[in-house]
Structure 1
Amino acid sequence: MPAEAHETLILPPPLRRVLPAARWERVNVGESGAGVWKSQKFVIKVQARGGVQFATSLQQERERLRWLAGRVPVPRVVGYEVEDGLEYLALTRVPGLDASHPDALFHPDRLVNLLARALRELHALPLRECPFNMSLSVTLPHVRERVAAGVVDESDFDGEREGRTAISVFNELARTRPEKEDLVVTHGDACLPNFIVNGEFIEGLIDVGRAGIADRHADLALTHRSLIRNLSPEAAEEFLDLYGREFVDPQKLAYYRLLDELF
């Protein structure tokens, strides 16, 4: 998808009819690849439909948001449209700050506790009710397609994998795949910018296109890494303590950090 394809926000007529006139501001935080705009009360996401250049489609995100609604705090879906090869997803805007914002990071103990509690609550949802399978049997074939298509950004690998190829990362994933998965309902991209904090609460989980049944370490690994980057290794370890060390496998943390390189 050309970068300019979603540089200007032009809403399809059905969305213009349901959304009030507003001043839309482009959002540059996050790594989803979609174009994102926000107004005072709403958020619009736009990306090309189809292909493997994006980790998930906006249609997948819409389906997950609808399922998660009423179970955990998420934005409400206002509308979804496809026009001229682009997907448009309109959502309510969650009040608060993303957890990577300096004002949220200013209270590290509170933030770490909120993150641990939010993931414990998400991971406690009944598996039998979740219709989305994001276990390794699904994600490994998907990332293999991304590697084969050449859409993985090798320049964005973590420092420990600098200079490696996507093929070598995938081969390591296949070779070291865990024998068992500790399956729960996961967020799928549990980095700090995808938690919205409002005072003493996590007000919402956003960017949930990869949500579904997977090993809990798919979330723990990314939150742990994000806390190291945004706060400190000590804060990241405190997060694991508060979540519950009895659930944590250091080898799986490393494995799911490796898997995330290919998204």
Structure 2
Amino acid sequence: MMSDASLPALTLPPALRRVLPAARWERVTEGESGAGVWRSTRFVVKVQSRTLYPASTLLQERERLRWFAGRLPVPQVVAYEDDGEQEYLAMTRLPGIAMSHPDAALHPERMVNLLARALRELHALPVRDCPFNMSLGVRLKLARERVAAGVVDESDFDEERQGQSAVQVFNQLARTRPAEEDLVVTHGDACLPNVIVQGEYVEGLIDLGRAGIADRHMDLALAWRSTRRNLGATYAGMLLDLYGRELVDEGKLAYYQLLDELF
């Protein structure tokens, strides 16, 4: 789940060099998207190996960014290229810092207020308008494919699952699958590094390659876990209070954290 450390220094294909200005590119090491990420003062470029990740996930992210444009603040797509070995997604860089940044952690109550508000706004988008299906049947199929391909990083499992295999985790997911889904438009990876803030505002959401229609607990589970890790248990609980405890199912919080182990 970590960024591919084997990727060399950023070398842009000719098509991207034509649309992106010459810049000093800084490697971004935070995040677990599976792609190498570089940024300049104005742009971000993601690069992903087609050998390690045969599914065109950056193309999926491009389509989602285009759909979210005008609905919620997200980066603007600049260009996409696929040379058969690697795919590249260039987009604008949002101003501000990630909600996981140490400076943001100095204002934990403000952060959980902003995060709860951002999730409520996202989940209020009309499901009928969203063309991306990431409901549990789809996610479990993708999880099974990842397990079969041997691409799940078992060493990166949460502490309570250290020592388990990806097959064991998948079998547990199959046995304990919730009977119903509370479907909304979700981010799909609603962790603090994927929320960009500036002052009193959320400037935008990033890493939207898994976004789509899913149970709201897909987002709540990862947002709660990320808040607990970055800000502490008190603020993780506050996040759920601010979002709306009447909408929270504790069992589903645990289930969707388990599901995330396979991605």
| TM-score (normalised: structure 2) | 0.96
Q: Aligned pair 1:114/2:118, yes or no?
A: no
Note if contact 1:53-1:146 (Cα within 8 Å) is conserved in structure 2.
no
Residues 152-197 of structure 1, C-alpha deviation per residue, up to 9 Å, x if partnerless?
0100000011111100000000000000000000000001000001
Give the match's secondary structure for 2:44: strand
**What is the distance in 2 between the residues matched to 1:132 and 1:125?**
13
Q: Quote the offset at 1:78 in angstroms.
A: 0.3
The residue aligned with 2:24 is 23
Q: Quote the offset at 1:6 in angstroms.
A: 2.5
**What is the distance in 2 between the residues matched to 1:151 and 1:66?**
28
Corresponding pairs, count: 261
**What is the distance in 2 between the residues matched to 1:52 and 1:6?**
13
The residue aligned with 2:75 is 75
**What is the distance in 2 between the residues matched to 1:127 and 1:177?**
22
Give the match's secondary structure for 1:103: helix
**What is the distance in 1 between the residues matched to 2:218 and 2:50?**
25
Query: Match for 1:130: what amino acid?
Result: C
| TM-score (normalised: structure 1) | 0.96
Q: Quote the offset at 1:49 in angstroms.
A: 2.6
After TM superposition, what 4+ stretches of structure 1 lie above 3 angstroms from structure 2?
2-5, 50-54
Note if contact 2:5-2:36 (Cα within 8 Å) is conserved in structure 1.
no
**What is the distance in 1 between the residues matched to 2:7 and 2:156?**
22
**What is the distance in 1 between the residues matched to 2:72 and 2:199?**
17
Q: Aligned pair 1:233/2:233, yes or no?
A: yes
The residue aligned with 1:66 is 66
Note if contact 1:41-1:93 (Cα within 8 Å) is conserved in structure 2.
yes
Query: Match for 1:21: what amino acid?
Result: A
Note if contact 2:125-2:185 (Cα within 8 Å) is conserved in structure 1.
yes
Note if contact 2:38-2:46 (Cα within 8 Å) is conserved in structure 1.
yes
Q: Aligned pair 1:48/2:49, yes or no?
A: yes
**What is the distance in 2 between the residues matched to 1:19 and 1:148?**
38
Q: Aligned pair 1:86/2:86, yes or no?
A: yes
Any gaps of 5 or more consecutive residues in structure 2? none
- Give the stretch that moved more between structures: 2-11 or 216-225: 2-11
The residue aligned with 2:196 is 196
Residues 113-159 of structure 1, C-alpha deviation per residue, up to 9 Å, x if partnerless?
00000000000000000000000110101100101111101000000
Query: Match for 1:261: what amino acid?
Result: E
The residue aligned with 1:155 is 155
Residues 37-78 of structure 1, C-alpha deviation per residue, up to 9 Å, x if partnerless?
000000000002376577x61000000000001111100000
Give the match's secondary structure for 2:213: strand
Give the match's secondary structure for 1:88: strand
**What is the distance in 2 between the residues matched to 1:196 and 1:132?**
23
Note if contact 2:58-2:88 (Cα within 8 Å) is conserved in structure 1.
yes
What RMSD, in angstroms, separates the aligned Cα atoms of the two structures? 1.5
